[in-house]
Each structure stands twice: as structure tokens, then as C-alpha cells.
């Protein structure tokens, strides 16, 4: 039977789960692995992503940045000079939410807004030298997290997993088919 985990948040739930599911075979402070639960792909991808986010949050706190801030910095590293509204779309957040994140990053000296020379309504986002340094300080944290997450997979399995995830991402980023209603 496949192994799947179910996250529990309080002691009562843990007690109830242990009584209701005596086949719990392993756990850590976040998850209980239960023999025989469905291993739906969406569930597995979502939970793996959630655990990656949680682990990164814990590790990044020591460097003095939040995961959402890291995402902004990492995207700016790749797409420096992006319009603020475009960056919000890439991060899948509302422009006002990104605006607040950028305010904090700008106050910390990590990013700067510059007016777009072709459109005075548009702000372009740029990393500062301090922002570049923050990314370099976080890179070992991110790489260590990925090594921990992928422990037990050899190099070819890691490459294959990355390729498969890229296919899934490409499939899901294609424009949906127009559906006729009538």
C-alpha cells in the first residue's frame, strides 16, 4: 500500500488519529504517515510544496527574510526591471499585495522602484546591491533544503523528476481551450 501523510495541528487531533488509524507508521512534528490512504497526485504535490515552504520559512528566518520576500528577490534576479504589475502576475498575488512587499523590501534597501521611461504610470523593480547580497546569502539555504527534500534520489532520478515537473508546469500554463456555451 502507498504511504501518504496527513498533517495534524493539535494534540487532540493526534490522539484521535492514533486511535482511529492504528497503522500510523512514522511521523515528525508536521506529518503522520498512514498506510493505506489514497496518494492522489494533487494531494502529494500540494503537501510536498507546503512542506518545502514551511521548511524554507524556518531556515530563511535566520537570514532575515520571509519566503514571499525571497520569491520577489529571486524573480527580480531573473527578471530585473520587470513592471510591478507583471511581477504581481508572476507571483500570483494581487498588485496591492506585491506593492506592500516591495515597500518593505525597499525600506530594507533590497529593491528599488524606478519610473518607466515610456509609461509614467508604471514602476519598474530593480535589485539593489544589498538585494543581490541577500540572494547570495540565501542560496546555500535553498540548496540545502532541496538536498534534504531530495535525499534518497540519485542524480538521474532528480533530473527525471525535474523534467516531469517541467512538463506538468508547461501543460498547466498553456492557454485553456475556449468552450462554447450554446
**Boundaries of every domain in the chain:** 67-134
Is pLDDT above 60 for 134?
Answer: yes
Q: What is the pLDDT of residues 16-46, one digit of tens each?
A: 444 444 444 445 555 555 544 456 888 889 9
Average pLDDT over residues 2-7: 40
What lies within 8 Å, CB to CB, of 12 at 6+ separation is: none
> At how many degrees (to 10) do helices 129-149 and 67-78 cross?
110
Q: What is the pLDDT of residue 6?
A: 41
Reported as a pLDDT band with limits 50, 70 and 90, residue 82 is: very high
pTM: 0.64
Reported as a pLDDT band with limits 50, 70 and 90, residue 62 is: confident
Q: What is the pLDDT of residue 175?
A: 61
What lies within 8 Å, CB to CB, of 33 at 6+ separation is: 3, 4, 5, 24, 25, 26, 27
Q: What is the pLDDT of residues 43-60, one digit of tens each?
A: 889 999 999 999 988 888
Is pLDDT above 50 for 14?
Answer: no
Which has the higher per-residue pLDDT, 12 or 141?
141
Q: What is the pLDDT of residue 31?
A: 53
Q: What is the pLDDT of residue 88?
A: 94
Architecture of domain 67-134: Orthogonal Bundle (1.10)
State which H helix or E strand residue 124 sits in. Answer: strand 119-127
Amino acid at each position: 500500500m502507498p504511504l501518504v501523510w496527513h498533517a495534524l495541528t493539535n494534540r487532540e487531533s493526534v490522539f484521535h488519529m492514533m486511535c482511529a488509524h492504528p497503522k500510523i507508521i512514522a511521523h515528525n512534528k508536521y506529518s503522520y504517515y498512514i498506510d493505506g490512504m489514497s496518494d492522489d497526485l494533487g494531494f502529494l504535490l500540494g503537501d510536498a510544496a507546503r512542506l518545502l515552504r514551511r521548511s524554507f520559512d524556518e531556515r530563511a528566518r535566520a537570514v532575515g527574510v520571509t519566503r514571499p520576500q525571497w520569491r520577489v528577490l529571486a524573480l527580480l534576479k531573473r527578471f530585473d526591471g520587470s513592471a510591478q504589475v507583471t511581477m504581481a502576475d508572476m507571483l500570483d498575488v494581487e498588485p496591492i499585495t506585491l506593492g506592500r512587499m516591495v515597500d518593505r523590501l525597499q525600506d530594507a534597501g533590497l529593491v528599488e522602484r524606478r519610473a518607466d521611461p515610456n509609461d509614467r504610470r508604471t514602476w519598474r523593480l530593480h535589485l539593489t546591491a544589498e538585494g543581490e547580497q541577500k540572494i547570495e546569502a540565501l542560496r546555500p539555504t535553498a540548496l540545502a533544503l532541496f538536498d534534504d527534500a531530495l535525499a534518497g534520489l540519485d542524480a538521474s532520478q532528480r533530473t527525471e523528476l525535474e523534467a516531469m515537473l517541467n512538463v506538468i508546469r508547461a501543460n498547466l500554463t498553456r492557454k485553456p481551450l475556449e468552450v462554447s456555451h450554446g
